[in-house]
Homo-oligomer: A and B are copies of this chain.
Amino acid sequence: MATSTSTGILDDARTAEREELVELLTTAYWMEIETVMNYIANSVNPDGVRAQEIIESLREDIAEELGHAQQFAERIKELYGVVPGSEAFRPSQGYLQPPDRQTDIVHVIRGVIEAESGAIEHYQRIIEFAGDVDPVTEDMLIAILRDEQKHRRLFEGFLREYEAEGRA
């Protein structure tokens, strides 16, 4: 019934695209790993009643983001790439480092929004790239993108409240 015998992105003929995709996924992988680190710190450091809501939110997110990282790692493997080790890590989330005072919640909220924005942009790029060649990766990215959009929207709401109260 079938005449062609293509297996899509896994075809030998598609090595170049596959390697580019692996590179994009590796960047995404490191973004999630760095997010895990900074969410741990920011889910422990802050003081205060209102901080609890943010701590709660970040703590739940740690497991979710680690899961994203593992999904990226597995997809890299499936595309015949190699997941890098710790020496390849380069930090890029200067805005998420712990603030000077641990009651400065606005600093944390701004940091989370910036981190999520970075992730959203990068994942949009992968979706566009994968859209033509690899529907499985595209589908995986859309699901992850949704989580990040939801999370950013929540923290935008937090920020808006502080702005309305004149504290941000």
Contacts and interface: CB of A to CB of B under 8 A. Distances in A.
Interface of A: 1-2, 4-8, 10, 27, 33-34, 36-38, 40-41, 44-54, 62, 66, 69-70, 73-74, 76-78, 82-87, 89, 91, 93-94, 96-98, 101-103, 105, 117, 120-122, 124-125, 127, 135-136, 138-140, 142-143, 145-146, 149-150, 153, 156-158, 160-162, 164
A84 B10 contact: no
Contacts of A50: 49-50, 161
A54 B53 CA distance: 12
Contact of A52 (B10, B51, B53, B143): B53
Contacts of A37: 33, 85-86, 89
Task: Say what secondary structure dominates the interface of chain A.
Answer: helix
A146 B153 contact: no
Contact of A78 (B53, B103, B153): B153
Given A40-B69, A69-B40, A143-B139, A48 B158 contact: yes
Contact of A44 (B77, B103, B120): B77
A52 B154 CA distance: 10
A48 B93 CA distance: 24
Contact of A150 (B78, B91, B164): B78
Given A70-B40, A85-B38, A157 B47 contact: yes
Contacts of A149: 10, 78, 136
Contacts of A94: 87
Contact of A2 (B36, B96, B122, B164): B122
